[in-house]
Amino acid sequence: MKSHLLYSLIIAIFLSSFAQAKPLDAFFSEADMFLKKWVENGNINYGKLKENFHEIEVLNKQIAQADLSNASEDEKKAFYINAYNLLVIYQITKYYPIKSALDKSGFFDKFNHKVAGETTTLDRIEKKYLILKYHDPRIHFAIACAAVSCPQLASFAYKPNTLDTQLDTRTKLAMNKDYVVKVSSKEKEVNISKIFEWYAVDFGGKESATLDFINQYRNTKIPAGYDLNFMEYNWNLNVIK
């Protein structure tokens, strides 16, 4: 009798914990393991990953079937950031060897993906589900487009309970990298990523507002009065040689 009651109690605890588990937890966990395995200093060995394509295919299916109906805003935000990054990896790997995402016309705005039951594009995920919804410019430094000039791809998944800290950390990392913000004290000028030009409105719409944003995250602040220029964007693939 006692053993029967103990067994029933164990089953009840298990079912209770299962019921409390959030449907996206498995996705965040598996995405984290995948990125830790394959990303090295923001780069990926796409050739080797293509030999193990099933690993990214599993995540692609999870992205397609994800249920966001009861998800919190932080869960949705983290989900779409991860979905964007993983779908870029999926698509690059699928067509590898290529030298750039731009080698495939429509890579960002024409190729369709199934995301949480909806058919959409990478461009639509970025703009509709992230930038226009959350008005958080830090997102620009969390999503990665598989290019050398793109903000470095993180070797971890973004998770709802740590999302704000992760976005701050990645933005600070980017603002202190020369390929995003390069300061010349001698020339009194600063060369910044084209991201700040393409999405100027997200950073305040004016040079002064853009520099204010950058300085929030710079270890060494950029003095007022420096000339502002935009660097050419290097679309070469972020591939491990």
Q: What is the mean pLDDT of the chain?
A: 93
Rounded to an integer, the average pLDDT of 43-50 is 98
The amino acid that residue 11 corresponds to is I
> Nearest-CA neighbor of 34 among 20, 14, 48, 55?
55
Out of 1-10, 37-46, 88-97, 137-146, least confident range: 1-10
Q: Work out the pLDDT band at 15, boundaries 50, 70, 90.
A: very low
Rounded to an integer, the average pLDDT of 86-103 is 98
What pLDDT does residue 148 have?
97
Token pair for residue 49? 């990953």
Domain locations along the chain: 22-230
Q: Work out the pLDDT band at 21, boundaries 50, 70, 90.
A: very low
The pLDDT tens digits for 150-166 are 999 999 999 999 999 99
Contacts of residues 92-99 at CB distance under 8 Å and 24 or more positions apart, as own/partner, are 92/44, 92/46, 92/146, 92/237, 93/46, 93/49, 93/50, 93/53, 93/56, 94/50, 94/53, 96/46, 96/47, 96/49, 96/50, 97/46, 97/47, 98/237, 99/236, 99/237
Q: Work out the pLDDT band at 11, boundaries 50, 70, 90.
A: very low
The alpha carbon of 166 is separated from its chain's Cα centroid by a whole number of angstroms, namely 11
What pLDDT does residue 4 have?
52
Token pair for residue 84? 């964007």
Inter-residue contact 28 to 157 (CB < 8 Å): yes
